[in-house]
Amino acid sequence: MAVYNIRCSYEENLAKGPNLALEDLPFTLVGQPRYEFWGKKLNSRLGIPAGLLLDSRWVRLYARLGFDILAYKTVRTRPQPSLPHPNCLLVAAALPCSPKAIPESLTVSQRYRPVTEISMTNSLGMPSQTPEVWQPDLVRSKESLLPGQMLIVSVVGTAEDNQPARFIQDFVRAAALAAEAGAEVIELNFSCPNAPVAEGQIYEAPEFAGQITKAVRQQVKELPLLIKIGYLAEDHRLARLLAAVRDDINGIVAINSLKLTVLDQQGRQALPGAGRSQSGVSGYALKELARDFIRRLVELKQKERYDFKILAAGGILTPGDFEDFLNLGAEAALTCTGAMWDPYLALRYHLEYSLPSPDPGPLMTLDFREIGLPSQIDEDIKIEHRRGDNEILYPPTMKICPICGEPLDQIPPAAPRYCRCRLMPDC
């Protein structure tokens, strides 16, 4: 079961979620801040983009799961309900979409695939509570962070009556309210496949995007400012967007989910209601498109000598996917679908890439003592992770699985010592 329960409505997930209790975590990741982001040092370059962190309870959970760049779900200056349930469906994608051949439609699937191959569609419509509710919750979110972590707040203006000036001012007010509540970084959400075109496809209108970023920059002063954008297949369109916003932004989050037609098994519209024949597709289906886009974005950044940071997203479902984006030149790698279905994804990345590490010492350590588990970590934990498969190997002296707390001696001595616990879905 995913941390966000796709069988329930957005409102039910907001009220009752997340679907993983904080007290169930048998570990705490203790980082060593060393990555510089806008004057602050972070433990890692791993994070969650706007979408999954519905409120402070979700922020607190994922902070303790080892995600250090945490984006609060997009908020508005006024309340707005989500689109009708169902809001999330699994879709079938035998292969990732190709940059040269994006399909016209995908079909809903009833089959739960391994996390490494899962694709889904979401259709929420950027719901928001009132500022009177989300501002105090932002304060709680920020207070829940561990050292070496950062809170991004995603905002959007509400378009009405085809009045661009009022729309821009609503963006400015939303950003001001987020800054007032303690946001460390502001994200302007210029891409939402499930919102009206005026709100959800701003990244496709470079001049208008530039007007919004300039107006918001004047309001938030020195606060780091990001824009979240979707997939652009043509380099010239991407170049125009970057040229329009370059003077006012500190970073770009890319890419958001891809707007596609989603059909049921009978070839009909899968999501009920007007205007929902298309919705945002994420996960495995986005893997190649996201890599193509980040590669091109990095090239343009280097060519034009832009100094904004790139926070990559799209199709990150394995520890190696994080590493792929970072190797492409992104300063951070964010996962939504992956973290939703495998909340231990950041931990698995740290086990493979961060713990242990060469001098000047490990990036991460695992601390079991807070919940009283037997511990062999008075000295540094020595854990191997076999690159390329799903076996986590432990030293012979270790008796307790560091992820679920189950005894490792349940495995026959002649067999490889690796965890088969329910909390590691790919084991």
The alpha carbons of the chain give a radius of gyration, in whole angstroms, of 21
The pair of structure tokens assigned to 330 is 């992104």
- Partners of 36 in the beta sheet? 41
- Which of 192, 336, 401, 419 is the catalytic position? 192
- Partners of 226 in the beta sheet? 187, 251
DSSP-H helix ranges across 127-225: 131-144, 164-180, 197-200, 206-220
Give the N- to C-terminal CA distance of the chain in Å, as an integer: 15
The pair of structure tokens assigned to 29 is 């990741």
DSSP-H helix ranges across 246-311: 287-304
Could you give the CA distance from residue 352 to residue 383 in angstroms, rounded to a whole number?
9
Residue with tokens 């250090």: 68
Q: Is 192 a catalytic residue?
A: yes
The pair phi, psi for residue 307, each rounded to 5°, is -115, 15
Note the Cα 313 to chain centre separation in Å: 7
Could you give the CA distance from residue 74 to residue 227 in angstroms, rounded to a whole number?
12
- Examine residue 255 and say whether the peptide bond preceding it is cis (omega within 30 degrees of 0): yes
Is the Cβ–Cβ distance between 241 and 277 less than 8 Å?
no
Would you name the residues annotated as active-site residues? 192
